[in-house]
Structure 1
C-alpha cells in the first residue's frame, strides 16, 4: 500500500473539519452525527475516528480553525492601519462580519459551546482570550494617542464591546434578520469613540 503523503493527510483532515463545521452549523452539535460528517466529507466513519477523537474532538478542531482564521485575519487587517480610529473600525467590522457571514455557526458558538461544562478550560476559550486581547491592544493605542481616557478599565470596555455585539448578533440570528454590517460598524465605532474619549483630548 502506497504511503500517504503529509500533504494528502492534511487535505483529508481539512476536508473532514470543513464537513464537520457545515454539519454542526446546520444541525447543532447534539443533533449531528459522525455519519453525517462522513457523508459530506466523502469518507467513512472509521477514517474520521482514525484522525479525530470522535464528535467532541471534531468540534474542538472546528473551534480552533475558526478562531485561528479570525485572529490571523484581524491581526493582518489591523496591521495595515496607522491610527486608533482605523484600527478600531477594522476590528469592529471584522467582528460583526464574523456573525453576519455565518449565522448558523454563530448560533452554535453562542447557544451551545459556551454551555459545555469544560468550556472554561478549553483550548477554544483560550483562543477566545487571545482574540479579545487584540481589542485591548487597539484600546491601548487609543490611550497612547490621547483619544481614549486612561482612567477606564480596559477589561470592562472589552467585555462591554464583545458582550454587546454578541447580544446584538443573537437577536438578529434569532429573528432571522441579517446584520447590516456597515451600519452596525459605523454606529459601534461612533459610540465607542464618543464614550471612550479622554476628557482632555
Structure 2
C-alpha cells in the first residue's frame, strides 16, 4: 500500500513539474505511476489533494535541511548567510516545484489557511528564530522587526529567483547569498 502511495506521489511530482498543475490530468499521473486512474482515487480524493501531498513532502524535506544548515553556525551573520544560500539552492535544485508553488499554488484561492501555507510559515519562521536569537545575543539591534525582515528577505529572494525559475537567467547562489547577507546585516546589526 505505501509503495503505491509513494509511487503516485512521485508520479504526480514529475507530472506537475513537467506540465504544470492545470495541464496535468489524473490519467497522466496514473500513466506515469503505471496504475489505473481509479487506483489514484483510492488514495486521493482529487488532483488538488495530490498536489498538496507533493508539496507537503517537498516542504518536509527542505525544512529540515534549512534548519540544519542555518543552525550549524553560532554567529548571526553566518546563520543568515547559510539560510539565504540554502534557500537559493532550493530554487536551483527544485526549480519546477518552486515555479509550481509560486505561480499556481500561492496565488490560488484555497492557499490562505491551507496546510501548505502553514508549512511555508514554518519554513520562513527559521529566519525569525535566527533573528530573535541574535537580538538576545546583542548581535542585532532590538528594534529590528523579525517578521518584516522575513518578508523583505524572502520577497527579495523570490524576486531574484524568478528569472531562473522561468528559464531566463542563472542564479548565482554563493555570490547572491553573500551580497544579500552583507546588505541586510549592514542595516540591522549596526548601532542606531
Question: Unpaired runs of 5+ in structure 2?
Answer: none
Report the equivalent of 1:107: 99
Report the equivalent of 2:142: 150
Aligned pairs for 1:130-169 (under 5 A) are 130-169=122-161
Number of residue pairs matched by the alignment:
192
**Structure 1 position 21, deviation (Å):** 1.1
Report the equivalent of 1:4: none
1:170 aligns with 2:162: yes
* Distance (whole Å) between structure 2 residues aligned to residue 87 and residue 19 of structure 1: 35
Q: Which of 152, 169, 185 pairs up with 1:193?
A: 185
Question: Unpaired runs of 5+ in structure 1?
Answer: 1-8
**Structure 1 position 175, deviation (Å):** 4.9
Helix, strand or coil at the partner of 2:70: helix
Q: Is the 8 A contact 1:38 1:45 kept in 2?
A: yes
Q: Which of 58, 62, 66 pairs up with 1:70?
A: 62
Aligned pairs for 1:30-109 (under 5 A) are 30-109=22-101
Helix, strand or coil at the partner of 1:161: helix
* Distance (whole Å) between structure 2 residues aligned to residue 47 and residue 195 of structure 1: 55
RMSD: 1.5
Q: Is the 8 A contact 1:150 1:198 kept in 2?
A: no
* Distance (whole Å) between structure 2 residues aligned to residue 34 and residue 175 of structure 1: 27
Q: Structure 1: which 4+ aligned runs deviate by more than 6 Å?
A: none
1:14 aligns with 2:6: yes
* Distance (whole Å) between structure 1 residues aligned to residue 157 and residue 71 of structure 2: 23
Normalising by structure 1, we get a TM-score of: 0.89
